[in-house]
Amino acid sequence: MLSPERLALPDYEYLAQRHVLTYMEDAVCQLLENREDISQYGIARFFTEYFNSVCQGTHILFREFSFVQATPHNRVSFLRAFWRCFRTVGKNGDLLTMKEYHCLLQLLCPDFPLELTQKAARIVLMDDAMDCLMSSSDFLFAFQIQFYYSEFLDSVAAIYEDLLSGKNPNTVIVPTSSSGQHRQRPALGEAGMLEGVEASLFYQCLENLCDRHKYSCPPPALVKEALSNVQRLTFYGFLMALSKHHGINQALGALPDKGDLMHDPAMDEELERLLAQVPGLVNSVTASPEASCLPSRTPPRVGSPWRPLHHSRKVDGESDGSTEETDESET
Integer Cα distance of 159 and 170 in angstroms: 9
135 strand-pairing partners: 95
Query: In one letter, which amino acid is 331?
Result: T
Residues whose CB is less than 8 angstroms from the CB of residue 274 and which lie 6 or more positions away in sequence, other chains included: none
Q: Is the pTM of this model over 0.85?
A: no
Average pLDDT, 10 consecutive residues per value, the chain (331 residues): 57 80 95 89 93 96 97 97 89 89 97 97 87 94 97 94 81 47 51 71 90 82 91 93 95 91 78 74 47 41 37 44 45 40
* Spans of all domains in the chain: 9-124
Residues whose CB is less than 8 angstroms from the CB of residue 68 and which lie 6 or more positions away in sequence, other chains included: 60, 74, 75, 78, 109, 112
Integer Cα distance of 156 and 146 in angstroms: 12
Model confidence over 104-145: pLDDT tens digits? Answer: 999 999 999 999 999 999 999 987 788 899 999 999 999 999
Model confidence over 206-235: pLDDT tens digits? Answer: 988 888 776 689 999 999 999 988 899 999
Can you say whether the dihedral through the CA atoms of 230, 233, 237, 240 is positive or negative?
positive
